[in-house]
Structure 1
Amino acid sequence: MTAIWLIYLQFFYFSYRRSNRPFMIIHQAQGDGPEAPCLFVNMSKEPIHVQSIVAYLDTEDGLRSCFITDYQRHSPEDSQAGEGLREGPIQPGGYLVLGSFNDIFSCHPEVGGDHSGARAALDGRKLELCVAVTHGPSQHLIGARREFRIRQARNATTLQAHSIYTEQLTSRRKRKDVRRWVQERFSPEQDSEQEDRGTEQKMD
């Protein structure tokens, strides 16, 4: 009987842990062209607070990064799209409109204004979107990351997601990458390699 109860307790524990784990989506909406909007959606059961959004672009001159600061915030109760605050939590079911992929390209001056020359050189290269957030129950930074491949054919640019899933960066090892994104923007005095502290529930 004790063994049965232990199995039940373990089952309920893992179910609770799984249901309260943060889950975020970086979504390419309405087509695969650069005019398609890019959404960041909070599918967690708790609010999340966005700390940093960075776009890494693979170019012939190396990896380029820029920070996305212009976006629209929407809650599940919004009946129509409207410009929202750039700060504050995203409620469960809420999302950010990061702009179109053209807008994201525009923060990279070397390709933002050129649809034929510089962008043609990006054929087969990648655009990686990375979002660093603080999750409601935790004091630590976690993140989400998704990679898109850039294709150029017949003077048209398309973007194809490398995977159907958004990578969830919640493990201790991956949280180091998330801290680095924030430090690149804000340059805090804290050592980037400082070990996580606190009473956060361990996440795999």
Structure 2
Amino acid sequence: MIDWLNQNSGVLQVITSVCTLAIWLFYAQLLYTTYRRDTRPRLLINKGVGKDDLGSPCLICNMSKEPIFIQCLVVELETSEGVFCTTATDPDESLDDDENRKPVRERTRQGPLHSGACIEVKSFRELIERAAVAGGVQVDDGLPRDREVDFLSLRLTIISIYGPEDHPFGAARTFSLDCSDVQCPQIQPMSLDTERLTSRKDKRQVEQWLWEYI
């Protein structure tokens, strides 16, 4: 056995070196994966509890390890007449003197959101109405007055700055709309999770919205 080890010592050293390198690569990949998970921003856009589907509040939760700074909320309403886009960053377009005396957090949704924190962003009905009005569509209680117009989906995009990152990032979720029953319209998420906007096209759109709405 000793003679065989002596005769094949060179091969054994190579095998040992390869195994050691593989172990180091495994731990390096593990550390990198952990680092990426800890430093990657993660937002959740969800439907909260409400009296009915359209009356449910839209919730934004920061599941990142560090705080984020919300810069802009963009609402896109897909209809049979086209896609209407507007911002929902501020609760109201105009503020009177009484509104201006309120705390900043009550006058705008811009600002920091700490890790594990959650904020409520209007009801889905209000978001639909805001986008519809921006597109010139008259609505009653979240539904189009013109029954020839169909509301198909609602997409909410959050544009934020994450502490370790130098550039803004976007997170979006789309909800399908079923308004066939005017007494009980339905809204349901079209994906199991919130989408991170990482493609070049998405990043260009995020920058365009910032220039337009900020």
Which interval holds the TM-score relative to the shorter structure? Answer: 0.7 to 0.9
Distance in 2 (CA, whole Å) between partners of 1:129 and 1:8 is 39
How many pairs align? 175
Name the CA shift for 1:120/1:102 in 2 (closer, same or farther; >3 Å). farther
Corresponding residue for residue 100 of structure 2: none
TM-score by length of 1: 0.76
Corresponding residue for residue 12 of structure 2: none
Corresponding residue for residue 105 of structure 2: 84
Mapped contact 2:78–2:84 kept (Cα < 8 A): yes
Which structure features the higher share of helix residues?
A: 2
Distance in 1 (CA, whole Å) between partners of 2:147 and 2:112 is 35
Moved over 6 A (4+): none
Mapped contact 1:34–1:102 kept (Cα < 8 A): yes
Mapped contact 1:27–1:40 kept (Cα < 8 A): yes
Mapped contact 2:129–2:139 kept (Cα < 8 A): yes
- Please tell me whether residue 145 in structure 1 is matched to residue 143 in structure 2: no
Alignment root-mean-square deviation, CA: 2.4
Corresponding residue for residue 93 of structure 1: 116
TM-score by length of 2: 0.73
Q: Which structure's CA Rg is the greater one?
A: 2
Corresponding residue for residue 200 of structure 1: none
Corresponding residue for residue 18 of structure 1: 37
Corresponding residue for residue 41 of structure 1: 61
Give structure 2 stretches of 5+ with no counterpart. Answer: 1-19, 92-102
Q: Which residue of the other structure, out of 159, 180, 184, is the alignment partner of 1:132?
A: 159
Distance in 1 (CA, whole Å) between partners of 2:31 and 2:66 is 19
Matches within 5 A, 1:1-204: 1-30=20-49, 33-70=53-90, 84-85=105-106, 86=108, 87-107=110-130, 108-109=132-133, 110-113=137-140, 115=143, 117-118=145-146, 121-123=149-151, 125-155=152-182, 156-186=184-214
Mapped contact 2:67–2:112 kept (Cα < 8 A): yes
